[in-house]
Structure 1
Amino acid sequence: MMKPHLPLRKLAQDLRDHPSVRGKLDISQSTGTLGLTTQSDGQPGDDCAVLPTADGFDLFSCEGFINAFVKTDPWFAGWCGVMVNISDILSMGGRPRAVTNAIWAPSAEQAQPVLAGMKAASLAYGVPVVGGHTNLRTDDLQLSVSIIGHAKALISSFAARAGDVLICAIDLRGSYREPFDNWNAALTTAPDKLRETMEILPYLAEAGLVTAGKDISQGGIAGTALMLAETSGVSIEIQLDALPCPAGVDMARWLRSFPSFGFLLSARPDQAAAVCAAFAGSGIAATVCGDVRDGSAVHLTSREGTALFWDHARTPYLNLSAKETSDA
């Protein structure tokens, strides 16, 4: 293994220290109190709770939003309430059915743009808002959104295996929604195209073309790769030069960015071309960008060499080594 130069080591250190990556460490505090384990109902640790049915799996997920984000960009926060929950369902090979919300606001006027954003996304994606909770007598604007969906075949984050390749698929046709690290490609995509991309992950699941996967969430590519590595009990090497990346975007920011449509998947090497082609058919950039191996470390590699990002055996992330997990 080549000795990394300082810039690559510094990149790995900066990612380890970034709030979007370290925020996931909070999960184990809740799961410990709740007594959740990988054996609990719902398969904690995946992007959605998994509830087996006679014809597949019902999926349930929930997202809460950072108050500063909701306050700064309330319409887009409402849109994201629908969008990121849909992404959780898709990441597990499912199709979304309906969303509900819980909104707190000082007044109806301040709640309006959040709800308008939710409505716009609901219409664009074709996923109805079917109810929720409203409180218009609070000091701060806050939002939480839940979703249900169904999968005929499951993509789980527990199933990556040594010998798999890592595939990154991201819609690059967008821009940052400043000042946050949110890469927005959804608002520039026609609703019929949004709905078309919603069929890619269910197709891959039902065709058996991927072994595991997660949507790229808060924490970006780096944090999501770490969660996938820990839940599957493997080591992952991310080849930075092979990642799909928009022109002119700094790699440090890109590795922690939250894309509107982005997934990390593992697949057997002989299936990788078919997986990438399924995304390319809808204009989504998808590349083989790493390897899954035995071990417990996530490494970043480039022309400079290799640097350790995180070792989940030494420093648990979602604390799966202690059998304490939560939906991530």
Structure 2
Amino acid sequence: MELDGIIKAIREFPGITRKKTIQDVVRFLPTHTFASVFASEGEDAAAIEFGDDLILFAADGIMESLLKTNPFYAGYFAVLVNVNDIAAMGGKALAMVDVISVKDDRICSQMLKGMERAVKKFNVPIVGGHTHPDCMYHAIDISIIGSVPKDQVILSSTAKDGDDIVFVMDTDGFYPPDLRYAWDTTTNKEDRIVQEQMAAMCDVASEKLTHAAKDMSNPGCIGTLGMLLETSSMGGYVDVDKIPTPKGVDFIQWILSYQGCGFVFSCPPENSQRIIDIFKAVKCDGAIVGKVDSSQILRLRSGDEERVLFDFNSDIITGCKPRKQ
């Protein structure tokens, strides 16, 4: 594949570039003085100590442009992205609360229908929240809590030199109209399968198969890996020819897409096939796509060609360097 074009597309993709502002917020809200905070910025969810367990706590907001384009999917994805964040850390999602701001009853109705569908799909309740019924804009924000045994939590800041990089993705999906980078693998699937896909991360956690992981979110599969390596102060390479890809989908569109079910792993080589097999049992494709090293440089390969995508000695995606336990 033509690596220069792939690199240009990733580096200029808004799903990557808009993450850079995270570092500015984090500077104003330090967490290192709070002893109960096990993990925070840079992770998919904050982890708060609670006896032998960790409470996982995350929040996500949906861009107003999506609410205007497709309010049903805005409500649906508001739930999905939060559930994925808890799953990525090996946790079980427990409950959510929402903040809804609306000025148009039609948009509000469609958004609520999307939220209702997702609550049933993922079997995680919305138990409260707050509504602004007289706003001059539309917004949906959801916060979620989950839990995980402290000795099973999966962080995204603990990749190790020599790890395999494994991608698992549900390639059985579609792009909804006008949502070019949202790969929908859940709305048309049985609820049971979707819930089993999320629970597969709990199996990876309980068997302690991986050093680090993240769900494939707005930066796409390679961009998500970039965030994992950046926060881990690591580098590595990805062979783009090995990335699981559905037939008939443009490759650059695919690697920039938010995955309905997709995870990046940095794991010991002896555990890679086990992770792939766990997700194969829930109808996801997986592959070893590269290796982690200590260079702090992420490189892409295709055939005999190799190019630098990010040099974390100077490049920034989020700028987060979480404290390690």
- The question of a shared fold, defined as TM-score above 0.5 by the shorter chain, is answered with yes
Q: Secondary structure at the match of 2:194?
A: helix
1:227 & 1:279 partners in 2: Cα distance?
Answer: 22
Aligned letter for 1:74? Answer: P
Alpha-carbon separation, structure 1, partners of 2:137 and 2:293: 46
SS at the partner of 1:198? helix
Alignment partner of 1:17 is 2:16? no
Distance in 1 (alpha carbons) for counterparts of 2:72 and 2:317: 32
Q: Is 1:134 equivalent to 2:121 in the alignment?
A: no
Match of 1:231 in 2: 231
Say whether 1:310 aligns with 2:307: no
Counterpart position of 1:170: 169
Q: How does 1:214-293 map to 2 (within 5 A)?
A: 214-293=214-293
Given the two structures, how large is their TM-score scaled by the length of structure 2? 0.93
Name the structure 2 match of 1:103: 100
Number of aligned positions between the proteins: 318
What is the aligned-residue RMSD (CA, Å)?
A: 1.8
Give the equivalent residue in structure 1 for 2:79: 82
Give distance in 2, aligned partners of 1:10 and 1:37.
40
Task: Report the counterpart of residue 53 of structure 2 in structure 1.
Answer: 56
**1:168 aligned counterpart, secondary structure:** strand
Query: Partner of 2:192 in structure 1?
Result: 192
- Distance in 1 between residues matched to 2:273 and 2:33, nearest whole Å: 32
CA distance, structure 2, for counterparts of residue 289 and residue 165 of structure 1: 8
Amino acid corresponding to residue 229 of structure 2 in structure 1: A
Residue matched to 1:116: 113
**Alignment partners' CA distance in 1, 2:145 and 2:59:** 9
Provide TM-score, normalisation by structure 1.
Answer: 0.92
Cα distance in 1 for partners of 2:158, 2:204 equals 15
Indicate if the aligned counterparts of 1:174 and 1:185 stay in contact, CA closer than 8 A.
yes
SS for the counterpart of 2:193 is helix
CA, structure 1 residues 235+286, in 2 after alignment: closer, same or farther (shift >3 Å)? same
Give, in angstroms, the shift of residue 167 of structure 1.
0.7
Residue type of the alignment partner of 1:106? K
Task: Work out the CA distance in 2 between the residues paired with 1:37 and 1:220.
Answer: 29
- Mind listing any 5+ residue stretches in structure 1 that lack a counterpart? none
Please tell me the residue identity of whatever aligns with 2:86. Answer: I
Aligned: 1:44 with 2:46 = no
What per-residue deviation string (whole Å, max 9, x for no partner) do you get for residues 18-62 of structure 1? 211111111112112334569883432110000122232110100
CA distance in 1, matches of 2:32, 2:252: 33
Give how far 1:304 is off: 5.2
Task: Give the match's secondary structure for 2:160.
Answer: coil
Distance in 2 between residues matched to 1:114 and 1:20, nearest whole Å: 23
CA contact (8 A) 1:60 1:147 kept: yes
Deviation for aligned residue 1:110: 2.6
Deviations 1:193-217 (A, max 9, x none): 1112121001111111111100111
Which amino acid letter does the alignment assign opposite residue 283 of structure 1?
A: K
| Structure 2 stretches lacking a partner, 5+ long | none
SS of 2:58's partner is strand
Q: Distance in 2 between matches of 1:104 and 1:12?
A: 37
CA–CA separation in structure 2 for the residues paired with 1:37 and 1:241: 41
